[in-house]
Each structure stands twice: as structure tokens, then as C-alpha cells.
């Protein structure tokens, strides 16, 4: 755990990766990205100041942010996050722990169908978008009415563009 970063429950993160899976996801995101510079390939939600988090990899699991040591990472914080909002968001996603990763949804995202075709299971970015929508109902009306279809690059773009809603508290190699 880094001493210079003070994580809070409800912090949001996206990760870059040069692994084969990371390059494949990045290619797919760039395929549909207008700008073509999608680099973030994974997302999750911080649950505790010790870095414990919830994410969807091969299944939805509790992990720790230190598992991303050496990777480029961006951590954002919702400006209006408080403990009540955190628990609202957490209660919306915590029952997903143990659900398998829906690989088919990656193909739906590739062809722009993930917002319209919903499944019981979610990819990592959809898990984070579901958390945001539940924690901040005021964003649901404009931004997160449907958490399906979000990808990590889009979430990173939201952190950077919506400065009225998000603060980026860290960006660099973890």
C-alpha cells in the first residue's frame, strides 16, 4: 500500500495493462472509440482504505489494489461521496461476488450492442457504473441510467471530463 495516497471507500479505479488480454481489450475499445486512444482495460471500486476492492475478472471478487503494483492506474473520487452513498453503491453490487465473468459481453461491447442486450452478469466497468448509479442517483438521470455497455476507457473519460463530479486523486504507476 502506498503511503502517499489515502484511499477512501467508494474510490474508483481504472488500470492499463500490456498483457495479451490487456492489449486485446484495448484493441477492441479502440475499434469503437472515436478518438482511438483507449488505454484503460480494467475497472473496479475501492471498498476500504486498506485497498480492498471489488472487481470482475474471471468472476466478481474481493481483491486488493496492490495486485496492480507496477501498472499504470487512475484513481478517481466522486466529489459528493460519503459513507451513506458508499453503502448505497456497495449494496447494489456486493451480491455479485462469485458471479462468473461474462466473456460474451466483450463481443457485445465490441459491436456496440452491450447497452441494449442485458445479461445477468456484468464486466468490470459495468460493475463500477452500477456502483456509481446507485451511489449517486442524481447522475443516473443524465449519465448512468443504464450501467450496461460502459467500458473502462469511457469511465476514465468521464473522470477526466466531468470535473464537477469527479476528482482524480492519483494517476501513474502504482
Q: Along the 174 residues of the chain, how does pLDDT read in single tens digits?
A: 788 899 999 999 999 966 545 445 544 555 555 444 568 889 999 999 999 999 999 899 999 999 999 999 999 999 999 999 999 999 999 999 999 999 888 888 778 888 888 889 999 999 999 999 999 988 876 665 688 988 898 899 999 998 899 999 999 999
Residue 147 CA to residue 89 CA, distance in Å, equals: 12
Residues in the chain: 174
Q: Which residues pair with 173 in a beta bridge?
A: 72
Closest CA to 12 of 51, 61, 49, 46: 46
pLDDT for 36 equals 46
pLDDT for 28 equals 54
* Buried-exposed string 106-139: b where 16+ CB fall within 10 A, e elsewhere: bebbbeeebeeeeeebbbbbbbbbbbbbbbbeeb
Q: What is the pTM of this model?
A: 0.88
Residue 110 CA to residue 96 CA, distance in Å, equals: 23
Which CATH number fits the domain 12-173, given the four candidates 2.40.30.170, 3.30.30.10, 3.50.50.60, 3.90.1720.10?
Answer: 3.90.1720.10
Residue 7 CA to residue 124 CA, distance in Å, equals: 19
Q: How many CB atoms lie within 10 A of CB 164?
A: 7
Amino acid at each position: 500500500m502506498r503511503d502517499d495516497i489515502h484511499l477512501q471507500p467508494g474510490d474508483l479505479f481504472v488500470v492499463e495493462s500490456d498483457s495479451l488480454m490487456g492489449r486485446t481489450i484495448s484493441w477492441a475499445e479502440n475499434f469503437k472509440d472515436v478518438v482511438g486512444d483507449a488505454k484503460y482495460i480494467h475497472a473496479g471500486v475501492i471498498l476500504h482504505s486498506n485497498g480492498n476492492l471489488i472487481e470482475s475478472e474471471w468472476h466478481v471478487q474481493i481483491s486488493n489494489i496492490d495486485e496492480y503494483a507496477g501498472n499504470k492506474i487512475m484513481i478517481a473520487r466522486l466529489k459528493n461521496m460519503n459513507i451513506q452513498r458508499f453503502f448505497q453503491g456497495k449494496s447494489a453490487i456486493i451480491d455479485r461476488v462469485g458471479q462468473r465473468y461474462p466473456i460474451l459481453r466483450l463481443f457485445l461491447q465490441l459491436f456496440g450492442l452491450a447497452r441494449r442486450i442485458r445479461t445477468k452478469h456484468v464486466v468490470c466497468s459495468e460493475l463500477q457504473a452500477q456502483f456509481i448509479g446507485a451511489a449517486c442517483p442524481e447522475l443516473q438521470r443524465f449519465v448512468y441510467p443504464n450501467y450496461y455497455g460502459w467500458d473502462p476507457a469511457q469511465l476514465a473519460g468521464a473522470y477526466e471530463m466531468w470535473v464537477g463530479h469527479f476528482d482524480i486523486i492519483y494517476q501513474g504507476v502504482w
